[in-house]
Amino acid sequence: MSAKAADYLKYIRVLGVAPALLFVNLLSTVSDKHGRKLAILLPMLGFMAYTFLNVVVVHYALPLWLFNVAAVAQGLTGGYTVFLAGLFMSAMDLSTPATQTLRIGIMEGMVFVGQCLGGLGECVRAWERRCVYVRGGGT
């Protein structure tokens, strides 16, 4: 069972990243001409579609291959890479050359702290599940 789950996760990751690699350059170029909002909002819409499709698949116990459709939907909108690129490009546009390094440093620090806290949340949830299982409340 774990080998099958690993295969599904591998396909989900590849199908989410491969289209994003193609659209990073495209959306970055388009955002140079038409503003940064598109490079920030489009990946957010992709994340919302990804989350919605995952919830639907889990709630209605649909086939697992539909997770791949959700990953492609997220990848076609650029994903996390385009989102961060849009944020950093927007910060560069709004700052002066004297403050650009400071602003980028602050943003990088915020990304680092956010990723650390997100990982910490996963550890806490896993620990809670284990505690419930050990006490006899889980299956």
Three-class SS state of 31: helix
CA distances in angstroms from 53 to 12, 45, 68, 77, listed in the order given: 13, 12, 10, 15
Q: pLDDT at position 97, please?
A: 93
Q: How far apart are CA 139 and CA 26, in angstroms?
A: 47
Residues 6+ away with beta carbon under 8 Å from 32: 89
Q: How far apart are CA 40 and CA 87, in angstroms?
A: 7
Structure tokens, 24: 């990073």
Q: pLDDT at position 22, please?
A: 83
Q: How far apart are CA 47 and CA 121, in angstroms?
A: 19
Q: How far apart are CA 139 and CA 137, in angstroms?
A: 7
Q: pLDDT at position 123, please?
A: 73
Q: How far apart are CA 44 and CA 19, in angstroms?
A: 16
Q: pLDDT at position 42, please?
A: 92
139 residues of the chain, pLDDT tens digit each: 678 878 888 888 888 888 888 888 888 788 888 888 988 999 999 999 999 999 999 999 999 889 999 999 899 998 888 898 899 999 999 999 999 999 999 999 999 998 888 878 777 767 666 665 555 555 5
Structure tokens, 57: 């698949």
pTM, to two decimals: 0.76
